């Protein structure tokens, strides 16, 4: 598959990621022309500065990885990240509220962050490993009506990452109106291509260089 790099969000979300680590991430992203780097919001200013003359976008996560913080906190984090240079925002839904059946809360939570993002692209992380297919469908339908940029499979920090089944289900629900991002456990070229063939048009991975070069990589959390 040509231009596989353009599908990839080159990701580093570890708690112990250093300035040196983020600098290396951005250097690799610029070299391989990945779609974006995905970092925690505290590193958005650094990534934005390092990538200002490149074709790589700056993506960040908010309400991460649990999604259970106040909606206002998520919206504030998103707005500040965009103000400091983020082009894309990956938010985690309130999984507990979804499991409680409060779809109105889930919608309001997403809408608040969507509004806070302004012109930046919003990706909505569902954490599919904790959800039923019905719940995944419900959130994807909400995201389709709000017209977010992407729905995303996983944080990479829970019990399981992306699966072809979940990617295909998400694509079926959102159609061509919303993107689908496969994240978590995508560590080699073969798996990345399987996710794309299942319906993903973005892949989140920390093993991005190994994926595009076809080299081996050790397992990681993302």
- Residues serving a catalytic function are 90, 152, 181
Reported for 44-48, long-range contacts at CB under 8 A and 24+ positions apart, including other chains, are 44/81, 44/84, 44/85, 44/86, 45/84, 45/85, 46/19, 46/22, 47/22, 47/85, 48/84, 48/85, 48/86
Q: How far is CA 30 from CA 6, 34, 35, 195, in A?
A: 11, 7, 9, 23
Taking alpha carbons only, the member of 70, 24, 18 closest to residue 42 is: 18
How many other C-beta atoms are found inside a 10 Å radius of the C-beta of residue 14?
A: 14
Contact 85, 58 (CB under 8 A): yes
Query: How many residues does the structure list for the chain?
Result: 222
Tokens representing residue 185 in the block: 């456990």
CA dist 191 and 174 (Å) reads 22
Among candidate residues 191, 65, 61, the one with its CA nearest the CA of residue 117: 61
């Amino acid at each position: 598959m040509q231009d596989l790099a353009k599908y990839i969000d080159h990701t580093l979300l570890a708690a112990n990621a250093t300035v040196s680590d983020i600098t290396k991430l951005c250097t690799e992203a610029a070299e391989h022309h990945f779609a974006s780097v995905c970092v925690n919001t505290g590193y958005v200013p650094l990534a934005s500065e390092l990538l200002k003359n490149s074709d790589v976008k700056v993506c960040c996560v908010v309400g991460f990885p649990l999604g259970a913080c106040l909606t206002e906190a998520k919206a504030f984090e998103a707005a500040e990240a965009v103000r400091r240079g983020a082009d894309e925002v990956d938010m985690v839904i309130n999984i507990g509220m979804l499991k409680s059946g409060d779809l109105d809360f889930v919608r309001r939570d997403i809408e608040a962050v969507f509004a806070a993002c302004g012109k930046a692209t919003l990706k909505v992380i569902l954490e599919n490993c904790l959800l039923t297919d019905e719940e995944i469908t419900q959130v994807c339908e909400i995201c389709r009506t709000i017209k977010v940029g992407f729905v995303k499979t996983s944080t990479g920090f829970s019990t399981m990452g992306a699966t072809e089944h979940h990617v295909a289900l998400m694509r079926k629900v959102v159609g061509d109106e919303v993107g689908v991002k496969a994240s978590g456990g995508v560590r080699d070229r073969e798996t990345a291509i399987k996710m794309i063939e299942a319906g993903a048009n973005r892949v989140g991975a920390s093993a991005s260089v190994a994926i595009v070069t076809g080299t081996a990589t050790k397992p990681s959390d993302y």
